[in-house]
Copies of this chain bind each other. A is one copy, B any other.
Amino acid sequence: MHAPVRQAKAKSRPAQRDAERSRAAILAAATAEFTAHGFGGASVNEVAARAAINKRMIYHYYGNKEGLFLAVLEETYARIRSAESELCLAHLAPPEAVRRLVLFTFDYFVKNPEFLTLLNTENMLHARHLKRSEQIQEMHSPLVGTLAELLKRGAADGVFREDVDPVQLYISIAALGFFYMANNPTLSTIFGRNLATPEALETRREHIASVIMDYLRP
């Protein structure tokens, strides 16, 4: 799609029309703003400035601040689900597959810290946005079902214990990485050392794999 030609206005770039591009710019700006300041501290004026888009358009596309935040959450969940769908675990031996899932989860949190902060913000608000979402089914991770299959196969093979609840295990895999990354600033301050160096992250990554794999031992 070519950019239309139009006389430039003083001090502003030529107005163009591209709804998809505008919405994407707004979502990216809103993600940064809500991540940095939380829901109450974030400013719609600032989102508009960051996106270089008129504030009226934010209300046109998303309705209000709550609708904007829900759109940010939905996109955030879509991203992790998309990344999870690229894991191909079914053809792997159960221990290798679970280990792969554990490492993927931690690596995802390391590369996407905004996911952690946005989730914490939404939990502080008692998930009131997610509860209104029409995409909750898409947010449910199919990996819990995958994990249940792996645990069943592993128990049958005698390489996993038999009494593992896949939901509890999935939550624990997430917990071990999420807490470490989301709380890294206060943990580093209190322990008096940087827990976010590449070495520290590698140590934590291997520790998490060890905790989970040792828990699954028969």
A residues lining the B interface (CB < 8 Å): 35-42, 117, 119-124, 126-127, 130-131, 136, 139-141, 165, 167-168, 171-172, 174-176, 178-180, 182-192, 203-204, 207-208, 210-211, 214-215, 217
6 A-B pairs closest in CB distance:
A40-B41, A175-B179, A127-B185, A120-B120, A38-B38, A168-B207
Complex Cα distance, B109 from A92, in Å, reads: 37
Question: A140, B175: Cβ atoms under 8 Å?
Answer: no
Within 8 Å by CB of A119, from B37, B126, B186, lies B186
Residue of B nearest to A130 (CB): B189
Given A39-B38, A41-B40: A123 touches B168 (CB 8 Å cut-off):
no
Within 8 Å by CB of A127, from B176, B179, B186, lies B186
Question: B165, A172: Cβ atoms under 8 Å?
Answer: no
Given A37-B40, A38-B40, A172-B176, 8 extra CB contacts under 8 A: A36-B124, A38-B38, A41-B41, A120-B120, A126-B185, A130-B189, A139-B190, A178-B183
Question: B41, A186: Cβ atoms under 8 Å?
Answer: no
Complex Cα distance, B141 from A172, in Å, reads: 23
**Cross-chain pairs A/B with CB under 8 angstroms, 9 sampled:** A35-B124, A36-B124, A38-B40, A41-B41, A120-B120, A140-B192, A168-B203, A176-B176, A214-B217
Chain B residue contacts of A121, Cβ below 8 A: 38, 124
Chain B residue contacts of A192, Cβ below 8 A: 136, 140
Q: A38 CB to closest chain B CB, in angstroms?
A: 4
Q: A89 CB to closest chain B CB, in angstroms?
A: 20
Complex Cα distance, B111 from A134, in Å, reads: 32
Chain B residue contacts of A178, Cβ below 8 A: 175, 179, 183
Q: A175 CB to closest chain B CB, in angstroms?
A: 3
Question: B215, A187: Cβ atoms under 8 Å?
Answer: no
Within 8 Å by CB of A41, from B38, B179, B210, lies B38
Residue of B nearest to A40 (CB): B41
Question: B168, A204: Cβ atoms under 8 Å?
Answer: yes
Complex Cα distance, B207 from A187, in Å, reads: 24
Chain B residue contacts of A174, Cβ below 8 A: 179
